[in-house]
Chain A
Amino acid sequence: MIEAIKQKEALIKSLSSQKDIFNKIRKYSALGLVVSLILAFIFMFVLRPLGTGLFILTLVIVVAVGVLSLLDYIWKCRIKGAEDSHRRLIYDFEHPDHPLVDEKVNIVRKALNSVKNFFSKPSNIIVFVFAIVLSIMVLFPLGKLFLNTFQVGTRDETRLINEEWGTSLSMGDWTLLNWPMLLFPKSKDYASWSLSFFWKPLGNSVAMSLLACTIAVVFGGAFAWLITRSNIPCKKFISTVFIFPYIMPSWSLAMFWENFFKNSASAQSPGVGMLQSMTRWMTASGVGICAPEWLIYGLIPTAICLGMHYAPFAYILIGGILRNMDANLEEAATILKASKFKILRRITLPIVAPAMISTILLVFSSSLSTFTVPDKLRFSSISITLRSLLSTAGFKRMGYVVAVILMIFSILILTLNNWFTKSRRNFTTVSGKSGQITKTDLKKAKWPIAVFAIILVIFTSIVPLLSFVLESLEENSGDLSTLTLKYWTSSQQFDSFIASKNISTQGVFHNSAIWGAFGRSIIVAVFVALIAGTCGILIGYAVSKNRRGKLANFVSSVAFLPYLIPALSFGAVYYSLIKIPAFSFLDISTTTKQASAVGICIIIGMVKFLPFASRTGTNAMLQVSGEIEEAAVITGCPWHKRMTRILFPIQKSSFISGYLLPFISCMREYTLFILVTSEVTLITNVLQYFTKNGLGQLANAINLLIVVFVIGANFLVNKLTGASIDKGIGG
């Protein structure tokens, strides 16, 4: 008996060490696989034969990894078998009076039973349904987009590629050439085109995003610290108003920036801005202060506007951690005689570091793909390239290539984010409540800092609103003597050319285009919020119940995937999808019906904003201990009743935040819907269209409408239910 046990132990040991060796080899081959694949790609365009050789090598490694994985699996089973019999032997040895009896197993029956058991739980049904639905709605379009980059689609594309590479491809053929066509073209003309149209904008975008991240984290972090950890006065006002820019559409700040700085000295800018008109009296010539060109358009203003837009996001994330951070951590350092500054540097900052890195990465990935702000402030970014490629015949596939590249960027960023937060998770654990945080006394600096902060938030949050009001009232931009109400009340057409296209350009109150679009926007936002919010709660429920389940993890990561995909690429995904004949009824360019556009917008919006909702839902559900639901299960309470009578009421405010967030995001979204809508489908379309066509007053009025509506909705929901947007993100 004892001999047998010892033998088994030795067997397990030797099997495990063999398995370790397989694993090690597999790990290195996987690394080799990636390296050789990258090299193969590079050499394909430079030194063909070597590239082909490397491709074959890659294939060999793929096979090897496959074999190793199989071996690994077989060994795993063998180890498990050995462990089982080892355990059995020990059991029999220690309990000779009742030896174990083998159970007869009917495999078919067992399988059927386990399927039956699986589906007897509502959470499993939810997981199963969402696994299918999300695969269709997220993974399938993504795969389709990716495959599209390896195909020549239209006659124009075929001609361009054949001319450039001397190939004889015909329409619909598979090829790798879309990629080098954009990245490393052969001929000189295309090389310079690629440089100025792809590489430079890409560099621009990266620079802009880096700057925006820095601004967001510095401002957001500083405000978060001031609000949670210092005795600065007017906390409530500052913290309420500070998050306005995040609630407002992202281009609002850009619009305000232009309204503020545009001047007569700049050749590009239309009209006179607030700064110039307000400083007329100061200068002798009466011209006023004219900001230099670089301050109105280009990298600096774009980065500042984006940074200020995302600063509240950083504020919410970092503030959340600072608020929940165990005060004992800092108190322990105080007792050990560390100075306040040292505590900040050595204790507080390292603890909020994961949140900061998260913010940096998320802001980076959002900025990289943002379209409206650089478009408004005339900064050539990669998103603008993407937009124009997608809308030019013959270049669509290259547009898909750019979309895929942007996606790869985001996925890399998220992987990095996960890596950072995972390796640091052990010390980010926020424990319980820290009611008695000792707040830093700012002493004499208290009021100056407060005044500075208040001026700053007024400038980023309230002055923009005023500027929109002013701009919608001035006949000549910046000229206060031309104040008029006609852009609101008049029923005259302000632009006969646009009016001739059946788009109303009357004053806001009479404008059918604006109100029609506004109504459609609300419809889209309401439906998206209802669907995404509910799905988010269901996913949250199912994921919290199956935390170990593979399928549940799959659902939770696929539900988060849309977050990583830049809005424009996401639009492109569905854009490529509606080009499939089966979905052509959703294509706005073939059917002029706005209803179909609203339909596709709801689908896209729902998928795109699902990550917010599912994160909020999951966090809320995880906070409810499983026992709370089980206590109801025991009493025979059916599932729907448990959801509506127990779980929802307990986490009401979090769940409502899960509805509010998609609603607000959807209301102000433009980039996401740009490819699948016409110029009058949604309110944001109308806004952009009027801006482009010199109807600045109407555009400003629309922007004011959106901002007031969104802030009003947020405020109302907040007052009624206690839910708020910052709870959703920070939660």
Chain B
Amino acid sequence: MPRIELINVSKRWGSFVGVDHLNLVIEDNEFITLLGPSGCGKTTTLRMIAGLETPTEGKIIIGDTVVFDSQEGINLSPAKRDIGFLFQNYALWPHMTVYKNIAFGLENLKWKKEDIANRVDEVCKMLKIEQFKDRYPAELSGGQQQRVAIARTLAPNPKVLFMDEPLSNLDAKLRGEMRTELKRLHKDTGSTFVYVTHDQLEAMTLATRICLIETGVLQQYDPPLTVYNRPANLFVADFVGNPTMNFIKSKAVILDPRTVDLDVYGVKVRFHAEQDVQLNSEDVVLGIRPEFLDINKKGKIQGRAFAALPAGMETTVKIELGGNLLSSVKFGAVNYKTDETIHFDIVGDGIILFDALSKRNVSLGSVEIL
């Protein structure tokens, strides 16, 4: 069964580095999202696995076959890799009907006529587009085109399915529906899905594992909740989560390997780490998720309400502390008056200490206010 392995894969254009020594193992039947800001190399990575782009160096293995090896000069064409690819703009052929679009790939595989007809019917039923079979792509709405594109990709029963930001052209409501259907489809087809997106919510909700990339370098490759709770470095911590994590620059005073004294915008705190702390210098960054800033009347820290943004289910509160802004999230619609005094605590054991120089996650821990 297909297990995809990338070994030291790089892609360069002249002196520009698109992907830098990427090592990645995608297990069978996984749903992987390649996540990162635009231009980080995630689409390039996907296209290299699919064979649409040739890596500068490295080795790619799908199942038991080496599909690319720069040393050996192996480079299998996309057609021989037994994959499906769903394009961002669907890439439906405008001069063919929906039926022809889906059947075209099967014709290339030299399927029998009746087999083709049966299979097209089957995928059309699965994606609820039977009534559009004789229409041209231009006569369909965005969501319908999306379904046709998925049907076309699924028709030859690919073992691996690649998707390049397939939902980015849909409106918010439709995107939500398609997300549910994709997750269901992953279950039903039993194929391996590799999915590119820049939308962290999409990545969090769909994936079994997230592969976070920045400027061509792999940042973290873990299940969504691990990525959220235990980000490997500052970039991951900043990229994942909405509202974003609060970052507080500070100087660290190490008391013992697991206890560090810090200064949070004028408030002295003590950080109790869950593992021994090793730092490159005394410069550190304390990362606190908004949900760990607990606003309550008895809170030990006193700040000022800068703005409250109620969204119905939860309210984001911007707190001003010593001239800096912190975000906090409170369940339910709570309104604070601007400039009102707010008391809050730093709670939980998911507070993260980062090394400011190497930007790496040093340890998780809890904070005690002195």
Contact = CB atoms under 8 A, between A and B. Distances in A.
Nearest to B90: A627
Given A87-B20, A635-B156, A80 B15 contact: yes
Contact of A625 (B21, B52, B89): B89
Contacts of A113: 70, 73
Given A625-B91, A627-B87, A630-B85, A635 B79 contact: yes
Interface in A647-680: 649-650
Nearest to B86: A631
B124 to A, nearest CB: 17
B70 A548 contact: no
Contact of A634 (B78, B88, B92): B78
Nearest to B57: A103
A91 B21 CA distance: 10
Interface stretch (B101-109, B112-120, B180-188, B189-197): B101-109
Contacts of A630: 52, 78, 85, 87, 91
Interface string B263-286: 000000000000000001000000
A103 B56 CA distance: 12
Interface stretch (B198-206, B305-313, B334-342, B355-363): B355-363
Contacts of A456: none
Contact of B104 (A80, A627, A632): A632
Contact of B233 (A94, A120, A627, A646): A94
A12 B68 CA distance: 34
Nearest to B106: A635
Interface in A67-105: 80, 83, 87, 91, 93-94, 98, 100-101, 103-104
B178 interface: no
Interface in B32-85: 50, 52, 54, 57, 70-71, 73, 75, 77-80, 83-85
Interface string B348-360: 0000000001111
Interface string B207-248: 000000000010000000000000001000000000000000
A112 interface: yes
Contacts of A110: 70
B105 A635 contact: yes
B50 to A, nearest CB: 7
Contacts of B93: 628, 631-632, 646, 650
B109 A100 contact: no
A116 interface: yes
A117 B13 CA distance: 15
Contacts of A116: 73
Contact of A109 (B52, B73, B105): B73
Interface in A621-649: 625, 627-628, 630-637, 641, 645-646, 649
B94 interface: yes
Interface in A275-318: none
Given A98-B23, A112-B73, A631-B85, A637 B52 contact: no
B21 A106 contact: no
Contacts of B233: 94
Given A91-B217, A94-B358, A117 B89 contact: no
Nearest to B158: A634
Contacts of A117: 54, 73, 75
A546 B57 CA distance: 20
A299 B221 CA distance: 76
Given A91-B217, A101-B8, A635-B79, A109 B71 contact: yes
A334 B29 CA distance: 58
Contacts of B88: 627
A5 B88 CA distance: 39
Contact size range, B: 35 or more
B91 A628 contact: yes
A91 B89 contact: no
Nearest to B21: A100
Contact size range, A: 35 or more
A636 B359 contact: no
A643 B17 CA distance: 32
A2 to B, nearest CB: 7
Contacts of A627: 87-89, 91
Contacts of A548: 13
A110 B360 CA distance: 36
B79 A636 contact: yes
A110 B358 CA distance: 35
Contacts of A98: 23
Contacts of A625: 89, 91
A634 B84 contact: yes
B95 interface: yes
Nearest to A101: B8
A113 B359 CA distance: 39
A423 to B, nearest CB: 24
A638 to B, nearest CB: 8
A641 B108 CA distance: 10
Interface in A515-568: 548
Contacts of A641: 108
Contact of B79 (A120, A634, A645, A646): A634
A93 B20 contact: no
A91 B219 CA distance: 10
A207 B367 CA distance: 85
A636 B57 contact: no
Contacts of A93: 358
Contacts of B83: 634
Contacts of B217: 91, 94
A645 B89 CA distance: 20
A180 to B, nearest CB: 46
B73 A94 contact: no
A120 B88 CA distance: 26
A627 B52 CA distance: 10
Nearest to A118: B54
Interface in A584-627: 625, 627
Contacts of A109: 71, 73
A641 B79 CA distance: 14
Contacts of B54: 117
Contacts of B95: 649-650
B87 A636 contact: no
A656 to B, nearest CB: 15
A650 B94 contact: yes
A113 B50 CA distance: 19
B287 to A, nearest CB: 16
Contacts of B91: 625, 627-628, 630-631
A649 B95 CA distance: 7
Q: Which 9 A-B pairs have the closest CB atoms?
A: A636-B79, A635-B105, A113-B73, A627-B91, A631-B91, A627-B87, A649-B95, A636-B108, A634-B85
Given A80-B15, A83-B15, 18 more contacts: A98-B23, A103-B57, A116-B73, A117-B75, A548-B13, A625-B89, A630-B78, A630-B87, A631-B87, A634-B52, A634-B85, A635-B79, A635-B109, A636-B109, A637-B108, A641-B108, A649-B95, A650-B95
5 contacts: A94-B359, A117-B75, A631-B87, A634-B50, A634-B84
